[in-house]
Chain A
Amino acid sequence: MPVALNMRLTGNEEQEVTLTGTLRPFVADEMASVRSSLEQAARTTRGTLCVNLKRLKYMNNVAFLELNRFVRWVAHTRPGLRVKFVISSVIPWAVRKFQVIAELYPFVTIEVYDKAFYPIQQVIEDDDFMNVLRTQQKIIWEHEREKLAWHGLRPGLRIADICCGLGDFAILLQSDFRPEYLIGVDHSKPFLRYAWQLVSDFGLENIEYQYGDAAALLLPDNSFDFVSCRLSLQVFHEPDHIVNELYRICRPGGRIYLTNEMMSGVTGYPNEEVIRHGYIRFLELCRRVGMDLDIGLKTRTILHEVGLEDIKICLLGITNMNTAPHDFARVVESWLRTAKQMAATANAEPELYEDVSAGLTAHIEAITRDNGFAMWPIFAGSGRKPFRIS
């Protein structure tokens, strides 16, 4: 029963007990330490006791009944205490199982935590946006493919592509880098269905996709040679959680590869001031919904702080002179539509969206104009996981 148990005080009113791994005991007595920790936490909590099960992959009925007994113990011994089971939608059995307990006991609630963790998920699952993502991927790949070998990618590696989106990266890697095995993880089922269909159509057997939470991956420690996370850290509230997971699943000596945008560096001519101001305001809007689209500049720091060595950074300088202007303009048009949806979500004042709209529209004009110039900087960074933790 390899279960890990962790307790922490998350505030005066709240304590959290975390269970991870596998909880399939033969008898309830094998859960004595878990039960004792739960009771200890319940005795010292004034408000809500959180039982965090978001990375508990397996649990049998013996364990479930013991948790049920604990809840009944709370009802008798600690009236007034609230119990919150924190589960993840990634664990397929969890929601139904704990829903029963929540229905039985009014002081018990269930929180599916990853619903709140992906604030713009519904926006990006829109069909039009999926088409734009493919165009965006096509544009970036032309600049990225020549840099990947420098970042340590070579044939025959085991690769994990975290936040894989539509899975295009996995397909594109096949011809140049022939991975031994690639797993793509994403939190969007429509994206994964698309990706899986693509793999089926191409008849590729070395690629798998997994519905997963990038901040609590179910992949094993130290198991991949190359771990990529592309244009994704920027859309999360807490990118550190994700980077820690990338580090955990990367094998010592393997490399972690990130790409991050720097929207404050997007510019163009003519109307450069309107464009710059528009993107500054766009960044402001993004921050209101928990996204940092200017994270590119921090790429080196992120890689350093997680403990990587041999860090490499390069710029994918996409311009309207090295990319098809029509495709580039389509991408910016999609940002404009997304900005409108975000402004509505964030209940932003109309002036904010107007500034964004003016800036991005001027950018599109610069991209498509015969003698105009426009750029979109993306930082690609990588680092090696050390063999020994210093």
Chain B
Amino acid sequence: MSIVKTITPAPPMEAEFASSRYRMIMAARFTVGGFAREWGHCHLLANYLARYVSANEGDPERHATLLSTFINELLEVIFRNHAVEGQIELIFRRRGRHVILQITLPVTEQNRVFYRMAVQIVNQPDLKSWYRARLEDPADGEDTMLGLLELAAVYACSLTISEPPGQDRLSLFLELPEVDDMGEV
């Protein structure tokens, strides 16, 4: 799997992200085929990207350990739900103490339905109660989504989706919670 890193913003930028409130951190691009060849890529990539994003923090290692947890959970979901060909793009931006991760990936219709449902569930009111109920009485087939739900219910991440019309791609935006320079939420 090869990764291309870009330090400058990768066009086209969402209008909102062009605002000066957002600061580009890094972008990475890789093929679905290379990524999906091995489950271990999620772990390796999450750690690598988290370390890069955390480079200037007071405690970069601890900050990276926390970010890796979030990035890995998202990558694991992507690993299980993507179209067979195309490229995956990740863009990390910063707004104050928040890191926002945009991931754009090729999807099938089935994948699209999955992500729409995930975003819908994550944004429901009283998510915490819903998440606890799933832990107490897990239903079949929900496990692959629970990772994302945990990010929202336990760590207060937010998840949104953007679907450009007429494309077999979609973007997920994971806004990570405010994390201080020591890696504390």
- Chain B residue numbers with a CB within 8 Å of A211 are 59, 62, 182-183
Given A100-B154, A104-B136, check contact A58 B59 (CB 8 Å): no
A3 to chain B, nearest CB (A): 12
Given A60-B76, A60-B147, A64-B150, check contact A209 B42 (CB 8 Å): no
Given A58-B65, A58-B72, A91-B65, check contact A97 B154 (CB 8 Å): yes
Query: How many residue pairs between the two chains, A and B, have CB atoms under 8 Å in the bound complex?
Result: 91
- Is A96 engaged at the interface, CB distance under 8 Å to the other chain? yes
- Is B185 engaged at the interface, CB distance under 8 Å to the other chain? yes
Query: CB-nearest residue of chain A relative to B80?
Result: A26
- Contact among A61, A64, A72, A192 with B59 in the assembled complex (CB-CB below 8 Å): A192
Given A58-B72, A97-B154, A100-B154, check contact A196 B61 (CB 8 Å): no
- Chain A residue numbers with a CB within 8 Å of B72 are 24, 58, 60
Chain B interface bracket (under 10, 10 to 19, 20 to 34, 35 or more): 20 to 34
What 0/1 pattern do residues 140 to 183 of B give for CB contact below 8 A with A?
00010011001000110000000000000000000000000111
CB-based contact B59/A101 at 8 Å: no
CB-based contact B132/A26 at 8 Å: no
Query: CB-nearest residue of chain A relative to B155?
Result: A96
- Is B135 engaged at the interface, CB distance under 8 Å to the other chain? yes
- Contact among B39, B58, B68 with A209 in the assembled complex (CB-CB below 8 Å): B58
What 0/1 pattern do residues 80 to 124 of B give for CB contact below 8 A with A?
000000000000000000000000000000000000000000000
A103 CA to B129 CA, complexed, in Å: 12
- Is A189 engaged at the interface, CB distance under 8 Å to the other chain? yes
What residues make up the interface of B, taking CB atoms closer than 8 Å to A? 39, 42-43, 47, 58-63, 65-66, 68-69, 72-73, 76, 131-132, 135-136, 138, 143, 146-147, 150, 154-155, 181-185
Q: Please give me the 9 A-B residue pairs with the lowest Cβ-Cβ distance, nearest first.
A: A61-B147, A92-B66, A196-B58, A93-B69, A26-B39, A92-B183, A210-B61, A211-B59, A24-B43
20 further A-B contacts with Cβ under 8 Å, apart from A60-B147, A93-B69, are A24-B72, A59-B69, A60-B73, A62-B143, A64-B150, A92-B66, A92-B185, A96-B185, A97-B154, A100-B131, A100-B135, A192-B58, A192-B182, A196-B58, A196-B59, A208-B61, A209-B58, A209-B59, A211-B182, A211-B183
